[in-house]
Amino acid sequence: MSSKELEEEIIRNYQREENMMILIFAQWCVNHDLDPAELYRSAYPHQEDNISLKQALDLTVPKEEAGEVSDDTLLGILSLFGNEELAFLVTEEINKRKK
């Protein structure tokens, strides 16, 4: 495998993992009656609509059918991908729920 092919494979893997992170975020929001697009816009107000988030929303299931997405899992994956602003807002939502 050439270095160019290796680089392309790494990029594809990262994109797949990023899409999985977005799906986990979207399902967590659905499970907690939150609007993922609204929460995302609050975290990143200067970004345009996130196409990957829209695609992930098509893959979510109603919370009654979904498996649990733990708060720690979501926060860990958001941190792994450097989504600190979104993790901060998710933490605020978690704290509201616990009150």
24-69 pLDDT tens trace: 999 999 999 999 999 999 999 998 888 999 999 999 999 999 999 9
C-alpha separations of 2 from 13, 15, 72, 86 in Å: 17, 20, 38, 37
Task: Please state, rounded to an integer, the average pLDDT across all residues of the chain.
Answer: 94
Looking at residue 85, what is its pLDDT? 96
Domain coordinates of the chain in residue numbers? 3-98
Looking at residue 48, what is its pLDDT? 86
C-alpha 28/C-alpha 32 separation (Å) is 6
Distance from the Cα of residue 6 to its chain's centroid: 26
Read off the pTM.
Answer: 0.90
Answer for the pair 34, 93: CB distance below 8 angstroms, yes or no: yes
Distance from the Cα of residue 13 to its chain's centroid: 16
